[in-house]
Amino acid sequence: MQVSKYFHDLFLSGRLFLPLQNYDPMTHAFKDILRKQDLDREEIKVLLSAEGERMQELLRRGREVKFSHLDNYVHLRGLIEFGNVCEKNCLYCGLRRDNARVDRYCLSDEEVLSCARLAHELGYGSVALQSGERSDPAFIARIEQLVREIKKIDNGSLGITLSLGEQSEDTYRRWFEAGAHRYLLRIESSTEELYYRIHPRNEKHSFRKRLDCLESLKRLGWQTGTGVMVGLPGQTLDHLADDLLFFKRMDVAMVGLGPYIPHPDTPLYRLRDLVPPAAERMDLTLKMIAVLRIMMPEINMVAATANQTVDPQGREKAIAAGANVIMPNLTPGEYRESYFIYPDKACVKDRPDQCKSCLDIRLAAIGHQILYNAWGDSLAFTKKDRK
């Protein structure tokens, strides 16, 4: 018979053995998983545990998927950390209410507006307002007014992201109607049990409330972002895989992922021995970014500043693995050291114009460029909006 003769000849020539000898079922499975977009929990865990050459392959795949859906542009959000007063007591964060070692500050309206004008002059296209969590009426009204004022700069040319924690639906509506359109509210961990290991278990830190807030934001039409910290004490690959599946299920438009950095003036510091070494947290963060890019090719993903704390090249590595947003700091120099969420924050002593040219150079070195004077909305969101 023809077919058996074919194999007979192949067998004799020795070629039939070659592919079999080189066949490693694990490598094969890994490569197959890398080609998929709809990943299940087990597949995600295989990718997150990749090391060495396999990890590099994963990171290259993250970049490849990004380039095939987006482009090589990086979007900037000029970050204005306008106050560090916080009503909450998250167990990991230096700004927590009970940390008496913080010099609390709040920028004046004029200081916030001059940061926003600077963002516009530098061509950043968008600003992000971030502060500790407050929900008193004066604060809510002030933010609403500030958003309106920022929108007046050059006829609404700046996009506005808010990152001001959990608020009522009415507050989210007021801020949206004032002109802000993107909101970041990290879930920190999507596993309720781990969430309560890093937050006090009380009404002020309710996991349910945070989920409800994310739902409200989406319902109101915000471009909604969330995220988690990577390398928390007791966090496993199962937790991290579930976080990625959570982002997908929530169908968010933006994600910010960053390594956890133990802060000595916080209760969670006691568990620092359970935190993986910096290099490991960095690698895990990069793998999370690459896997998420594969799962959600069109979302906006931030290369968090915390990456640069654990690795001097951390932000560029995050961009190269699939992230596409950077938030350079615009907070006036004298306040920066008081926004001490975690130790050794990057760029604390650099002026905004220095960061701008620094970023241009660093990003060019990895084949990316900044898209100036644009809002840089998430494609995942704008596409849906058009439908």
Instruction: Tell me whether residue 46 or residue 327 sits nearer to ligand SF4 (CB atom).
Output: 327
Q: Is the dihedral of CA 371, 375, 381, 386 positive or negative?
A: negative
Which DSSP string do the residues of 22-55 spell out, in sequence order?
A: T--HHHHHHHHHHH-SS--HHHHHHHHT--HHHH
Among 342, 363, 376, 378, binds ligand 5AD (CB under 6 A): 342
Site string for ligand 5AD, 235-274 (x = CB under 6 A): -----------------------x-xx-x-----------
Please, what is the minimum distance in Å from the beta carbon of residue 240 to ligand FES? 27
Amino acid at 383: K
Scan residues 308-347 and list those touching ligand FES (CB under 6 A): 328, 347
The residues with which 76 forms a beta bridge, in sequence order, are: 326
Strand order of the β-sheet with 126-131 is: 78-83, 126-131, 159-163, 182-184, 223-230, 254-259, 300-303, 325-326, 73-76, 369-370
Number of residues that bind ligand 5AD (CB under 6 A): 12
Instruction: In whole angstroms, give the CA distance from residue 137 to residue 116.
Output: 23
80 lines the binding site for ligand SF4 (CB under 6 A)? no
Please, what is the minimum distance in Å from the beta carbon of residue 87 to ligand SF4? 7
Among 44, 229, 241, 359, binds ligand 5AD (CB under 6 A): 229
Burial bucket for residue 79 (CB in 10 Å: 0-12, 13-18, 19+): buried
268 lines the binding site for ligand SF4 (CB under 6 A)? no
Among 88, 181, 287, 293, binds ligand SF4 (CB under 6 A): 88
143, interface contact from ligand SF4, ligand 5AD, ligand FES, none, CB < 5-8 Å by kind = none
Instruction: In whole angstroms, give the CA distance from residue 10 to residue 21.
Output: 15
Scan residues 157-186 and list those touching ligand 5AD (CB under 6 A): 186
Site string for ligand SF4, 96-115 (x = CB under 6 A): x-------------------
Number of residues that bind ligand SF4 (CB under 6 A): 9
Site string for ligand SF4, 127-146 (x = CB under 6 A): -----xx-------------
Please, what is the minimum distance in Å from the beta carbon of residue 243 to ligand 5AD? 12
Contact between 382 and 132 under an 8 Å Cβ cutoff? The reply is: no
Burial bucket for residue 224 (CB in 10 Å: 0-12, 13-18, 19+): buried
Tokens of residue 314, six digits: 């951390």
Amino acid at 265: D
Interface with ligand FES (CB under 6 A): 328, 347, 350, 354-355, 358-359
